[in-house]
Amino acid sequence: MLNYETIKKIMFNFEPETAHTIAECGLKALPYCRLLNNYMVKENFINHPMLKQEIFGTTFQNPIGLGAGFDKNATMIKAMPAMGFGYTEIGTMTPRPQPGNDKPRLFRYPEYNSIQNAMGFNNKGSYEVISNLKKLYPFALPIGASIGKNKNTPEDKALDDYETLIKGFKDICDYMVVNISSPNTPNLRDLQNEEFIKAVFGMAKEITDTPILLKIAPDMADETAIELCKTAVQSGADGIIATNTTQDYSLLPNPKDFGGLSGEVLSEKSYLLFKALGKELHDKTTLISVGGIGDAKDAYRRIKAGASLIQIYSAFIFQGPSMCKNINNELIELLKADGYNNISEAIGADFKN
Ligand SMILES: Cc1cc2nc3c(=O)[nH]c(=O)nc-3n(C[C@H](O)[C@H](O)[C@H](O)COP(=O)(O)O)c2cc1C
């Protein structure tokens, strides 16, 4: 069988979006190749008792999830156990279909294990994604639905978009994420303010008990992020996901001057903001850390800083289907070395005596 280094060499000859489309075709087909799929699940999916947790009323066999943006239309969720993921976050979906920003809008920086994207919520719209999901139900893994406003929805109507999306996804996923942190929808990040956060979570709690989280950007002061996240939790948010991509272009020598950076260059920035949030909130809500994670040591420091769960997007592109297995196996060793019986005991360990 071809190893991932060889597959990557071939795939990296294509434009990143073309490579993504090829990968999507392969991952859509994988579950129908029963023997190969079963072999890959057995090989890559770790379900060790030390990693198992009950969160959001459902079971997470391992803490490594696929970050939002890879499976925007929920077409690949059946293949994710074979990739080793313990859960997957689909989207970001908008109420109406939209094409996203002009191309090119996706760039690789392999020497930095990093990516820059300005996709702009290209997706088939909530109606089609919900019907995709219904066809795929029941799911093998917990599913989160990331939701965002359409580009052409004015800011003063943004709440209506989130209301439509929450009503649409509430019964077909394990949790939802209010995404107001993408840098690629004009003025979206302006919604990261107390008034909107109070309004959106207040509205959500009137509609459903399905857990709803807030995903934030890394490009703000720790104090600002802490205040916004506290407001979200007080208004009914069930957790925080930190962080989205960064607009700090100083992290890379020759970046584009648009879009958001992810992968290795984001790791330290994302970790530091996450740790500041963890200090304040690890015992008050569920925290998910994402941003530049590519190995078990980084995943473990996020867990000790308060993360119940981890998400990864960019490193999956560079490391492929063995990534989750490697991280999960090493996490077990790290937990054992520190004398823990289960991952839940290590969450927020940095802040306990
Ligand atoms: C091509 C691409 C598209 C993305 N699209 C979304 C999205 O639609 N919604 C979202 O919340 N985050 C999106 N993200 C951000 C990721 O979910 C994640 O927060 C970010 O990439 C940092 O994690 P990483 O360093 O592991 O990639 C996207 C990232 C990439 C690289």
pLDDT tens across 82-137, in order?
999 999 999 999 999 999 999 999 999 999 999 999 999 999 999 999 999 999 99
The residues carrying an active-site annotation are: 182
- CA 74 to each of CA 69, 120, 125, 139, 257: distance values in angstroms, whole numbers, following the listed order: 10, 17, 11, 11, 30
Rounded to the nearest integer, the mean pLDDT of the chain is 97
DSSP string spanning 54-107?
EETTEEESSSEEEPTTSSTTS-SGGGTTTTT-SEEEEEEE-SS-B--SPSP-EE
**What are φ and ψ of residue 200, in 5° steps?**
-70, -40
Pair 262, 114: CB distance under 8 Å? yes
Q: Is the peptide bond before 210 cis (omega within 30 degrees of 0)?
A: no
Ligand 1 contact, 147 CB (< 6 A): no
**Which residue has tokens 């916004």?**
228
Quote the ligand 1 centre to 190 CA distance (angstroms): 18
pLDDT digits (tens, 9 = 90+) for 210-264: 999 999 999 999 999 999 999 999 999 999 999 999 999 999 999 999 999 999 9
Which residue has a Cα nearest atom 4 of ligand 1?
A: 69
Decide whether any atom of ligand 1 lies within 6 Å of the 184 Cβ.
Answer: no
**Is residue 167 predicted with pLDDT exceeding 80?**
yes
Closest atom, ligand 1, to C-alpha of 266:
25
Cα-based torsion angle of the residue sequence 179, 185, 191, 197 in order, rounded to the nearest 10 degrees: -20
pLDDT for 149: 98
CA atoms within 13 A on the CB side of 299: 28
- Mutate-to-test residue for ligand 1 from 90, 245, 270, 298, highest number of ligand atoms within 8 A of CB: 245
The pTM assigned to this predicted structure is: 0.98
Mean pLDDT, to the nearest integer, of 34-42?
A: 97
**E runs forming strands in the chain:** 53-55, 58-60, 64-66, 87-93, 106-109, 114-117, 143-147, 175-179, 212-216, 239-242, 260-263, 286-290, 307-312
Q: Considering the chain, what percentage of its residues have pLDDT values greater than 90? A: 99
Tell me which of 162, 244, 264, 310 to substitute to probe ligand 1's pocket, judged by most ligand atoms within 8 Å of the beta carbon. Answer: 244
Q: List, for residues 314-324, the tens digit of each pLDDT value.
A: 999 999 999 99
How far, in Å, from the CA of 339 to the mean position of ligand 1?
34
Ligand 1 within 6 A of CB of 266: yes
Residue 115 alpha carbon, nearest atom of ligand 1: 31
Assess whether the C-beta atom of 263 lies below 6 angstroms from ligand 1: yes
Name the nearest CA neighbour of 284 among 241, 344, 242, 233.
233
The 3-state DSSP class for residue 177 equals: strand
**pLDDT value of residue 1:** 61
State which ligand 1 atom lies nearest to the alpha carbon of 181: 11
Q: Do 207 and 171 meet the contact criterion of CB atoms below 8 Å apart? A: no
Separation CA 311–CA 87 (nearest Å)? 9
Q: Is the CB of 106 under 6 A from ligand 1?
A: yes
Residue nearest to atom 5 of ligand 1 (CA): 69
77 lines ligand 1 (CB under 6 A): no
Strand bridging mode 114-117 / 106-109: antiparallel
Alpha helices, H only, 208-257: 222-234
Cβ–Cβ < 8 Å for 324, 62: yes
Ligand 1 test: best mutation among 178, 262, 293, most atoms within 8 Å of CB? 262
Burial 108-130 (b: 16+ CB within 10 A, else e): bbeebbbbbbbbbbbbbbbeebb
Q: Is 293 in the pocket of ligand 1 (CB under 6 A)?
A: yes
CA 311 to ligand 1 centroid distance, Å: 10
Residue 64 has pLDDT above 90, yes or no: yes
